[in-house]
Amino acid sequence: MTSPRRPSAWRISLTAGWLVAATLLCGFSASSSTFADGPAESPGRRLLERFCGDCHFGEGSEGGLDFEKMMASPKVDPFIGPWEKSYNMVRAALMPPASEDQPTPRQRREIAAWIDARLRQLDCTVKRPGRVTIRRLNRTEYNRTIADLVGIDFHPADDFPADDVGYGFDNIGDVLTLPPMLMEKYLRAAEEIVRRTMEDPQARRRIVFCRPGPELSPEECLKRILRRFATRAYRRPVRDDELQRLVELVQRARKGGATPKDALSVALQAVLVSPHFLFRVERDPPADDPDGIRPLNDYEIASRLSYFLWSTMPDERLFELASQGKLRDRDTLKKEARRMLADPRAEALVQNFASQWLTLGRLERVERDPERFPAFSDQLRRDMLEETLALFRYVMRDDRSILEFLTADYTFVNERLARHYGIEGVRGDVFRKVALPPQRRGVVTHASILTVTSNPTRTSPVSRGKWLMETILGTPPPPPPGDAAPLAEGKGAELLGSLRERLEQHRADPECATCHKQMDVLGFGLENFDAIGSWRAKDGRFPIDASGELPGGIRFSGPSELMMVLAEARRDDFCRGFTRKMLTYALGRGVVPEDRCTLERIRVELERSGYRFSRLVEAIVTSDPFLYRAAK
């Protein structure tokens, strides 16, 4: 799929032509988002042309990435994505490909700095909230919403089919489809929910809160019941015409021979199957709106807050604030976010966000060869999960620095897990906070993560390295070339040497080497932990060498040092990556290049606050994407 390389003479003439065009453009432009990079012979740009121009200049550029076109554009906006990608590839030394001339580290920095400067010309006063597809309640949200709505917690959605995952999370509007089978389940669940509610005196009284009498006509009472129920279920005031249709539904059922109780049940079921309940509806801005952007209304914001932090419907206070029109106030929003984080319901953020961010869901289904790992049991599996969630919970509840996810010198264990780690003096099943042995720091050295990044019979330094790059550093390596040869393994393979030696042979291929160098060095830093996260000094008969050198010449030896080095040298990458994940979860859509200004604002805010957890949440709930809706 390689396009023919152009002779460089032609490239030079193209460049010259571009210079003329750029000079003209610069001469006429005044706007700050217009490309005005000072002297055209700026060294960063010259280096970009020199090292990238062969393949990425002019029509028919490799991968459709055409710097000529991008530089000629007076606005950055249309090319934020390609510029960001280029920046990352250059900075991570993934481009130019190994087969081409390589810039020196200093030249590389200059190219990256030039691209960064270009990106900074983006006008961040313009709102770019992005578009969220209306979200169906996922299984967790459905269960919790029902529990809050009717006061009976019995997890009807556990029988629903699994929700699909997009961008690492199961609450993404685009991916939450509604297959016909699910509609059957919704109907049946609604029937069961209403039946149980009507049979439970307490729950019934909460919903059927009035009785017809001399003061109250049956129809007025029915209206009151339905108005309250539908308003809470739809998470906004029910409209009069909607209410009227519900009343008529009851009346028709009565005419058809239903008892008053059955007839009311029919209407309650209809509410629970209505798209207004099953989806979090947000209307698009009107088609004739000049910006195509509208601020969300108070009720929509209340739902965004409650589903982000609690995975359930808004509580009384949020409804109250919404009805008073106070939720568009930034200080109120921040205050509410802090209140919600302190509420027990914020456990949802631990169970849903944290477990998906760290891919802990995989733990449930990993298998380990019992002959090689007799210590691995279902109990240990559950303990591993609990440890990591406990650390997240602690950072959240104590409002600590998010950097402690990488550097915490403490953790939470019970007796079984303590034994697994070689920590003395812990008895019983209850988890408690303990100091970690010096070899372990932060979540990456937790048994949970070391296990989900391994294979059933052995560790996989490549998977671990890839996981670190994706999940912790937010810089996933590009996928391998299609014909990548897998690692030789099994009997006989050992003759070729230790796993590290074999991997080194494997990456002798320069095309693989660029990325593997980065993945493997991270993964091997964790080789002292076996496939269930126990400490080991040897792998089979080979002693473990857990030292390495990161790009930029930073050396480390062993897992703890690796984590400390990452928290220092790659701090911004970690924070940006973590922010992207939380923003994805909060919005229910993938983060797009247009979110650049939002991410940068949050980063500054986070740094200023000493990386405190609550400040990240506050910054997210007061960001444009969280408070506005775009048509596109």
Question: In the window 572-631, what residues touch other proteins (CB under 8 A)?
Answer: 589-590, 631
- Contact status: 470 vs other proteins (CB under 8 A): yes
Q: Which is nearer to other proteins, 445 or 453 (CB)?
A: 453
Among 11, 45, 128, 136, binds other proteins (CB under 8 A): 136
Instruction: Please select the residue that binds other proteins; options are 41, 101, 316, 371, rule is CB under 8 A.
Output: 371
In whole angstroms, how close is the CB of 611 to other proteins at the nearest point? 24
Binding to other proteins (CB under 8 A) within 280-299 occurs at 281, 283-284
**Contact between 464 and 546 (Cβ < 8 Å):** no
Question: Is residue 487 within the footprint of other proteins (CB under 8 A)?
Answer: yes
What is the closest distance, in whole angstroms, from the C-beta atom of residue 149 to other proteins in the complex? 17
User: Could you tell me the two tokens for 108?
Assistant: 């590389």
Q: How far apart are CA 382 and CA 42, in angstroms?
A: 57
163 binds other proteins (CB under 8 A): yes
Residue 482 in the binding site for other proteins (CB under 8 A): yes
Name the token pair of 476.
């996933």
d(CA 274, CA 227): 15
Task: For residue 293, give the amino acid letter.
Answer: I
Longest CA pairwise span in the chain (Å)? 96
Give the footprint of other proteins on residues 176-215 (CB under 8 A): 177-184, 187-188, 190-191
Nearer to other proteins, 106 or 491 (CB): 491
Q: Give the list of residues 6+ apart from residue 235 with CB closer than 8 angstroms, or none.
A: 280, 299, 302, 303, 313, 314
Tell me the window of 38-46, 359-367, 420-428, 620-628 that interacts with other proteins (CB under 8 A).
359-367
Span near other proteins by CB under 8 A; candidates 215-223, 262-270, 316-324, 434-442: 262-270
| Amino acid of residue 128 | R
Judged by CB under 8 A, does residue 375 bind other proteins?
Answer: no
Q: Which H, E and C letters describe 330-376, residue by residue?
A: HHHHHHHHHHHHHCHHHHHHHHHHHHHHCCHHHHHHCCCCCCCCCCC
List 276, 345, 601, 603, residue binding other proteins (CB under 8 A): 276
Q: How many binding residues for other proteins (CB under 8 A)?
A: 88
- Pick one of 205, 261, 335, 372: the residue that binds other proteins (CB under 8 A): 372
Least distance (Å) from other proteins to the CB of residue 32? 30
Place of tokens 């490239």: 11
Residue 360 engages other proteins in binding (rule: CB under 8 A): yes
Across 515-572, the runs of DSSP E, i.e. the strands, are 538-539, 542-543, 547-550, 554-557
Number of Cβ within a 10 Å radius of residue 54:
18
CB of 173 or CB of 525, closer to other proteins:
173
Closest contact distance (angstroms) between CB of 286 and other proteins is 10
Contact flag: residue 540 with other proteins (CB under 8 A): no
Q: In terms of CB distance, is 74 or 295 closer to other proteins?
A: 295
For residue 193, the minimal CB distance to other proteins (Å) is 13
| CA distance linking residue 406 with residue 25, whole number of Å | 47
In angstroms, what is the minimal distance from the CB of 628 to other proteins? 15
Verify binding: residue 16, other proteins, rule CB under 8 A: no
Does 493 interact with other proteins (rule: CB under 8 A)? yes
Shorter beta-carbon distance to other proteins: residue 88 or 401: 88
Query: Smallest distance, Å, CB 516 to other proteins?
Result: 15
Q: Does 1 sit near other proteins (CB under 8 A)?
A: yes
165 sits near other proteins (criterion: CB under 8 A): yes
Render 387-421 in DSSP notation, one character per residue: HHHHHHHHHHHTT-BTTHHHH-SEEEE-HHHHHHH
233 binds other proteins (CB under 8 A): no
Least separation in angstroms between residue 33's CB and other proteins is: 26
Contact in structure between 288 and 620 (CB atoms under 8 Å): no
**For residues 409-468, which are near other proteins according to CB under 8 A?**
455-457, 460
Amino acid at 222: L
279 or 410, CB closer to other proteins?
Answer: 279
Pick one of 72, 200, 279, 294: the residue that binds other proteins (CB under 8 A). Answer: 279
Stretch touching other proteins by CB under 8 A, among 23-31, 244-252, 387-395, 568-576: 244-252
- State which residue, 41 or 378, has the beta carbon closest to other proteins: 378
Which one, 126 or 183, has the nearer CB to other proteins? Answer: 183
One of 167, 307, 376, 392 touching other proteins (CB under 8 A): 167
Sign (positive or negative) of CA dihedral 13, 15, 20, 21: positive
* Contact between 351 and other proteins per CB under 8 A: no
Helices (H), 62-137: 67-72, 80-91, 105-119
- Asked if residue 511 binds other proteins (CB under 8 A), the reply is no
Does residue 496 bind other proteins (CB under 8 A)? no
Kindly tell me which residue out of 91, 128, 131, 223 binds other proteins, with binding defined by CB under 8 A: 131
Region of 226 (left: φ > 0; alpha: ψ -120 to 50; beta: rest) is alpha
Among 70, 92, 172, 436, binds other proteins (CB under 8 A): 172
Determine contact, residues 585/169, Cβ cutoff 8 Å: yes
**Pick 136 or 596: Cβ nearer other proteins:** 136
Quickly list H helices, 94-217. 105-119, 139-150, 180-199, 201-207
Q: Minimal distance in Å, beta carbon 470 to other proteins?
A: 8
Question: Binding other proteins by CB under 8 A: which of 26, 94, 258, 423?
Answer: 258
How far is 602 from 620, CA to CA, in rounded Å?
7
Distance CA 144, CA 152 (A): 10
Q: Is 174 in the site for other proteins (CB under 8 A)?
A: yes
* Short-list 47, 25, 52, 61, CA closest to 114: 47
Burial of 200 (0-12, 13-18, 19+ CB in 10 A): middle
* Beta strands at 547-550 and 293-295: parallel, antiparallel or unpaired: unpaired
List the one residue out of 120, 54, 59 whose CA is nearest residue 87.
Answer: 120
Distance CA 550, CA 92 (A): 11
Helix pair angle (298-309, 316-323), 10° resolution = 160
- Least distance from other proteins to the Cβ atom of residue 441, Å: 23
